Every structure is written in structure tokens, then in C-alpha cells.
């Protein structure tokens, strides 16, 4: 496996894409990048995912990986050195995910209500991704209290980094660092919100250490090129359904996968692999050909189509 086979579909303003970009830099990989639109429509991306529209997406040939937690596991499996899960930190890194998501939402809302960065239609586009939607009026109404919630979370991160090693889980970098870094990245990008970090010196020093990993070696390609890469490739061999599957699903069944709360666009296809932590389904697209789309098990709803 060459690292240049890795294709990341992203846009530069995306904090979650920053999480993966820094992982690629940490591993010193050469990779290819596709710039995707910030908002719908995203026709070339959907040709690969079949419905999943969130950012980022990782592509290796005709295999497409959704969600940054799964992407981290895939990168560590294919390029194990240096590890994202040193000394048995995978379990704790994954368990910290919900706290990271809370920090992310608070940081992004702080940026969005402070700096006029989002294009017209952005709030309406994102409102379609959550059941019941949300309004700009409500976001602005909650901005004050949520700023205090954000400060409380940054204080906890400050205490952790002040009392421990140079990284979140100790002496070595881990997935937890990249997970906590990307909300801070969003705040550091603008002077108005970077000021909120002034009273957290340990957080600022740690963020600089993560930022120093860089992005690796990136080569831009077009989204059409990425679709053609999938068409010319064959998906990796499927693993089948592992023992102990609680809902009796079988390889070959038609299934649908969607996130439980954020991003309501399902991906449907033929189930080809299922384990305690990963879902893989095969689909055929007129342009991309046969692709296998992979999702993590946590936070995703897998149902018979």
C-alpha cells in the first residue's frame, strides 16, 4: 500500500477535515486531496458515498471510508508507524469522542456567532442535517451561555495538559490529541476567537505542538479524477459478517446506514462486511462503478432496506 493511494475529500475550513489532515502529517504520509463544496450539491462525492455528505471522506481505490474515528483506525491499520493509539490508548481515545463532539459544537458556534465566515445559505444547509432543524435566532440566543460552557471545557483541558505530559494522554501523541485539536483549530483561525484562548497557556502550547506535525505531502486532484480512480479499481476483499451479530444480519442483504443524529442522508447497498466496530456495504454507481462504503458501528443506524 502506497500512501499516495490515500485520497482525502475535504475543504480547508472544515475542523473535522483538519483532524484527519493532522493525522496524515503526524504519520508523514504523501496523499492526494480533493476539494469538495462546503454545502450541497456534492455530486462527485455522492457518486462515491451514495448519500453520506459530511466532511471529510477518505478514499483508497474503490473503498470509501466515512467518519473520522473509522478513518483513524484505517490509517493506523495501513500505516502503523507512528501509531495513533500508542500503549493501548485506543479504548480511551474512542470513549472521549462524545466530550470532543461537545467541545467542537461549542467552539464552532462561538466562531460562527463571532466572525462572519459562513456563506449565504450555510445555516439552512446545515439545518437539513438534523431532525427538526435549527434556527439562527436560537443559535444567537444561546451564544452567551454557550460561551461560558466553552470556557468551562477549555479549563478542563487546560488542567489536564498542565498536570500531565505534553499530550492529552501522556508523553506520546494519540488520536485524542487530534480529536481535541480540531475545535481549538477553529478558534485559533480568527483573532476574535483566538483571544478566548489567551488565559489557557497549556492549551495554546499543546496546540502548537500538534500543529507542528504539519500536513505531510499533499497533491491536489480533481473530484472527477477521484471518481475515475474508483471506477478503475476493485474494492478490497470483504470480510463477511462476524460471529455474534445481535440482529441476525447476513452478508448479501440490502441495508441502509445513516448517522443517528447528524446527517440524515442514508447510504443503501448490499451488506458485505460487519464486525463489532465496522459496517461495509457494496453499491454500484453509473460513474464510480462498484464501490464499498465503510462506516463505524457506533453512532450509526444499520437497518434492512
Closest alpha carbon to 157 in 169, 143, 144, 147: 169
235 contact partners, CB below 8 Å, separation of at least 6: 61, 62, 63, 282, 290, 291, 292
Is the CATH number of domain 3-82+217-304 3.40.30.110?
Answer: yes
Q: Is the predicted pLDDT of residue 238 greater than 90, yes or no?
A: no
Q: Give tens-digit pLDDT for 167-216.
A: 999 999 999 999 999 999 999 999 999 999 999 999 999 999 999 999 99
Per-domain boundaries in the chain: 3-82+217-304, 86-211
Q: Give tens-digit pLDDT for 257-298.
A: 999 998 999 999 999 999 999 999 999 999 999 999 999 999
Helices 175-188 & 97-112 angle (0-180, nearest 10): 10
What is the SS3 assignment for 139? helix
Give the integer Cα–Cα distance in Å for 256 and 267. 6
Instruction: Considering the domain delimited by 86-211, tell me its CATH architecture.
Output: Up-down Bundle (1.20)
Give the integer Cα–Cα distance in Å for 16 and 20. 7
First to last CA, the chain: 34
Closest alpha carbon to 300 in 52, 102, 125: 52
The pLDDT confidence band at residue 2, using thresholds 50, 70 and 90, is confident
Amino acid at each position: 500500500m502506497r500512501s499516495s493511494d490515500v485520497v482525502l475529500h475535504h475543504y480547508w475550513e472544515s475542523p473535522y477535515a483538519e483532524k484527519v489532515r493532522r493525522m496524515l502529517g503526524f504519520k508523514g504520509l504523501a496523499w492526494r486531496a480533493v476539494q469538495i463544496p462546503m454545502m450541497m450539491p456534492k455530486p462527485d462525492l455522492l457518486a462515491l458515498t451514495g448519500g453520506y455528505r459530511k466532511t471529510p471522506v477518505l478514499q483508497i481505490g474503490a473503498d470509501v471510508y466515512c467518519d473520522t474515528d473509522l478513518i483513524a483506525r484505517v490509517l493506523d491499520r495501513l500505516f502503523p508507524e507512528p501509531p495513533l493509539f500508542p500503549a493501548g490508548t485506543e479504548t480511551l481515545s474512542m470513549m472521549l469522542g462524545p466530550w470532543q463532539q461537545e467541545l467542537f459544537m461549542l467552539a464552532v458556534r462561538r466562531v460562527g456567532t463571532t466572525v462572519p465566515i459562513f456563506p449565504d445559505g450555510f445555516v439552512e444547509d446545515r439545518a437539513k442535517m438534523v431532525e427538526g432543524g435549527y434556527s439562527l435566532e436560537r443559535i444567537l440566543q444561546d451564544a452567551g451561555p454557550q460561551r461560558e460552557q466553552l470556557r468551562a471545557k477549555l479549563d478542563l483541558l487546560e488542567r489536564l495538559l498542565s498536570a500531565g505530559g505534553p499530550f492529552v494522554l501522556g508523553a506520546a501523541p494519540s488520536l485524542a490529541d487530534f480529536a481535541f485539536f480540531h475545535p481549538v483549530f477553529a478558534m485559533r483561525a480568527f483573532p476574535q476567537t483566538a483571544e478566548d484562548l489567551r488565559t489557557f497557556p497549556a492549551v495554546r502550547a499543546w496546540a502548537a505542538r500538534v500543529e507542528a506535525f504539519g500536513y505531510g505531502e499533499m497533491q491536489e486532484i480533481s473530484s472527477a479524477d477521484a471518481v475515475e480512480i474508483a471506477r478503475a479499481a476493485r474494492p478490497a476483499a470483504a470480510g463477511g459478517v462476524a460471529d455474534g451479530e445481535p440482529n441476525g444480519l447476513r452478508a448479501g442483504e440490502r441495508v441502509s446506514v445513516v448517522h443517528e443524529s447528524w446527517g440524515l442522508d442514508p447510504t443503501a447497498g448490499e451488506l458485505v462486511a460487519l464486525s463489532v466496530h465496522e459496517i461495509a456495504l457494496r453499491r454500484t454507481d453509473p460513474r464510480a462503478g462498484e464501490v464499498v462504503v465503510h462506516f463505524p458501528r457506533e453512532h450509526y443506524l444499520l437497518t434492512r432496506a
